[in-house]
C-alpha cells in the first residue's frame, strides 16, 4: 500500500487558507484518479481512485498541529513503511506560490504539522511534496496568522497553476520512487 497524507485543517473556516493547500492537491488527485468523495475514517478522511489501486489519500482531521496522531492511527491499522511508502503534501512558506519541492527527508523547518509527524515517527525520514505559499511581505506579520489566511487572487492562481506539475510529480513518485522524482521535478 502507498499513502498520500495531505496536511491541513478541517472545517469551513480553514478550507481556503494557505495551510490547506495540501488538501486542495489531494482533491485534485482524487478527481484525476476517478475517486469517490473523502469519507471520515477514524482520525482521517480517506479516498481512493480506481485509476490508482493500492494508493490511499488521507486528510488528517486532527488539525495541523496534531497530524502525527492521525498517522499513528493509520500505522496501527495498515501495513506500510512511512520512509518508503508515504508522501506528505504540505504547505511551505519558504517557497513562493507556484513552486514545489520534493524531499526524501528533512527537518520540519518550523512547520507544526511536519513536527507532529516527525515526533510520532521518531524520525524525519519520510517523503514530502512542499507546496509554495510564500512568506509574509512584512516580518511583523505573525506566521501562524499568515498561513491561516487566504491567499490574494494572484498568489492563489500561481499556486493552482502548479497543480498539474504537482500531480505529475506525485504520479512519478508512485511509479519511479522519490530519487527519480526529485531528479525530474526539483530542477524545474
Q: Averaged over 93-101, what is the pLDDT?
A: 97
21-49 pLDDT per residue, tens = 999 999 999 999 999 899 999 999 999 99
Catalytic residues: 19
How high is the pLDDT of residue 139? Answer: 86
E runs forming strands in 13-164: 39-41, 44-48, 55-60, 86-92, 100-103, 127-132
User: Considering the chain, what is the average pLDDT of its residues?
Assistant: 96
Where does the pLDDT of residue 188 fall: very low under 50, low under 70, confident under 90, or very high at 90 and above?
low
Phi, psi of 108 (to 5 degrees): -65, -20
How high is the pLDDT of residue 187? Answer: 73
How high is the pLDDT of residue 103? Answer: 97
Task: Look at the chain and count its residues.
Answer: 188
CA–CA separation, 55 vs 12, rounded Å?
A: 27
Query: In what helix (H) or strand (E) does residue 6 lie, and over which residues does it extend?
Result: strand 2-6
Q: Which cell numbers in the block locate residue 38?
A: 473523502
Q: What is the largest CA-CA distance in the chain?
A: 47
Sorted by where each begins, the domain ranges of the chain are: 2-185
Q: Is 166 in contact with 100 (CB distance < 8 Å)?
A: yes
Any idea which fold 2-185 has? Answer: Rossmann fold (3.40.50)
Amino acid at each position: 500500500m502507498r499513502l498520500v497524507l495531505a496536511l491541513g485543517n478541517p472545517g469551513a473556516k480553514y478550507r481556503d487558507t494557505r495551510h490547506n493547500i495540501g488538501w486542495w492537491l489531494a482533491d485534485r488527485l482524487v478527481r484525476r484518479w476517478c475517486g469517490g468523495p473523502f469519507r471520515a475514517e477514524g482520525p482521517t478522511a480517506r479516498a481512493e481512485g480506481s485509476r490508482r489501486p493500492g494508493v490511499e489519500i488521507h486528510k488528517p482531521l486532527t488539525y495541523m498541529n496534531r497530524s502525527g496522531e492521525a498517522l499513528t492511527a493509520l500505522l496501527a491499522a495498515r501495513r506500510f513503511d512511512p520512509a518508503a511508502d508515504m508522501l506528505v503534501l504540505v504547505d511551505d512558506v519558504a517557497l513562493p506560490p507556484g513552486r514545489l519541492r520534493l524531499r526524501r527527508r528533512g527537518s520540519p523547518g518550523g512547520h507544526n504539522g511536519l513536527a507532529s509527524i516527525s515526533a510520532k515517527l521518531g524520525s524525519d525520514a519520510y517523503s514530502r511534496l512542499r507546496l509554495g505559499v510564500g512568506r509574509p511581505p512584512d516580518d511583523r506579520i505573525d506566521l501562524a496568522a499568515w498561513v491561516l489566511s487566504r491567499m490574494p487572487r494572484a498568489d492563489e492562481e500561481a499556486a493552482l497553476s502548479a497543480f498539474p506539475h504537482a500531480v505529475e510529480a506525485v504520479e512519478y513518485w508512485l511509479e519511479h520512487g522519490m530519487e527519480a522524482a526529485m531528479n525530474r521535478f526539483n530542477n524545474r
